Structure 1
Amino acid sequence: MSIPYLARPEQHQQLEWLNGDTLSILLDGAATNGQLMVGRFDVSRGEAPPWHVHTREDEVFLLISGTALVWAGEEESELTAGGIVFLPRNVPHSYRITSEKADLLMINTPAGIEGMFRETGRDRSTPRPDGFTVTPRPEVAVAYGSTVLGPPR
């Protein structure tokens, strides 16, 4: 048996994300022939993306540790460690981290959305510009098939 792609943790791209938290790109479209993107968030209380919808990919969240509120369509649910959520494309959604820290695995299929994270976030291997903050950029989201529908919940 062969492994078509293997990346050790030190090879994962680390992006500064909302609130100075970290998104590690574990697999991207280049590694999976466009089939899959896998990212891992190391986030703090209050981290919350805007209310949004994806038109190109389905998304799965696995909460490895911590707690979060998750909104999908009109439903609100509490997610605890080990909980998983499937978010089909075209279903508006968001989440808010409610624990002090959380470890969240995100899987998107097909790949492509990692471009939005790379364009909006900051590669941690580069010097941090003075005053830099990550802010959601609706115009970048649209370029990657996502639409911001409103502020975080």
Structure 2
Amino acid sequence: MQTSFILNESEGRLPEAYNVLGMPVTLKIAGSDTQGQMSMFWAEYQKNQGPPLHLHNVDETFYITEGEFIFQTGDTRITATAGSTVFVPRNMPHAFLTISEIGKMLFMVNPTGNVEKVFEKLNEFQEMPSIAEVVRVHEELGFKIVGPPLTNE
């Protein structure tokens, strides 16, 4: 049976945030809470952090709460600041780069898919994984790395 819950800013559904390539990502709403329909995450990034260009078979929505980011969706690049919402439909290549000193966002994936599993696998690395290891983890779970992380050039 599903139950309602309230989490404070620093709380998540797991005892610790995932370490996703050196970036802390907190699971706020798990796929198991929504029968696989949605997962929600809170993340805080430092300047020049962001994932490599990738794609997956779930829709993703980002809501920026603090800072400034460059987003690439397909061939389009935009700047997103606090209050911006960025929607990325499934199977569209995308990435972002934090260009302020600190950037914070909520992001959701619909349906849940294997996003939580990818974060769990990346969290298992004790040191920063190689590009080959990142590609392997993504491919094992149906995701695809299609390019490097963004730069501010």
Q: TM-score, normalised by structure 1?
A: 0.84
> CA offset at residue 135 of structure 1?
5.4
Match of 2:20 in 1: 17
- Does the 8 Å contact 1:65/1:104 carry over to 2? yes
Using the TM superposition, name which of 36-45 and 142-151 deviates more. Answer: 142-151
Question: Equivalents in 2 of 1:118, 1:57: separation in Å?
Answer: 17
Q: Structure 2: 5+ residue runs without aligned partners?
A: none
> CA offset at residue 8 of structure 1?
2.5
Match of 1:40 in 2: 42
Match of 1:141 in 2: 138
Question: Equivalents in 2 of 1:78, 1:68: separation in Å?
Answer: 6
Match of 2:72 in 1: 71
Kindly, what percent of the aligned residue pairs are identical?
A: 26
Question: Equivalents in 1 of 2:130, 2:43: separation in Å?
Answer: 16
Offset from partner CA, 1:31-75 (integer Å, 9 cap, x none): 111110101111111111111111x21000111101000000110
- Does the 8 Å contact 1:16/1:134 carry over to 2? no
- Does the 8 Å contact 1:120/1:135 carry over to 2? no
- Does the 8 Å contact 1:116/1:141 carry over to 2? yes
Match of 1:125 in 2: none
Give 3-state SS (helix, strand or coil) of 1:151's partner: strand
Residue 53 (structure 1) aligned with residue 55 (structure 2): yes
Question: Equivalents in 1 of 2:108, 2:141: separation in Å?
Answer: 16
Equivalent residue pairs, number = 142
Question: Equivalents in 2 of 1:121, 1:46: separation in Å?
Answer: 20
Q: Structure 1: 5+ residue runs without aligned partners?
A: 123-127
Question: Equivalents in 2 of 1:94, 1:38: separation in Å?
Answer: 18
> CA offset at residue 7 of structure 1?
4.7
Instruction: Provide the alpha-carbon RMSD of the alignment.
Output: 1.9
> CA offset at residue 11 of structure 1?
4.4
- Does the 8 Å contact 2:69/2:100 carry over to 1? yes
> CA offset at residue 151 of structure 1?
0.9
Q: Structure 1 residues 138, 45: CA separation in 2 closer, same or farther (over 3 Å shift)?
A: same
- Does the 8 Å contact 2:65/2:82 carry over to 1? yes
> CA offset at residue 134 of structure 1?
5.2
Q: Structure 1 residues 51, 133: CA separation in 2 closer, same or farther (over 3 Å shift)?
A: same
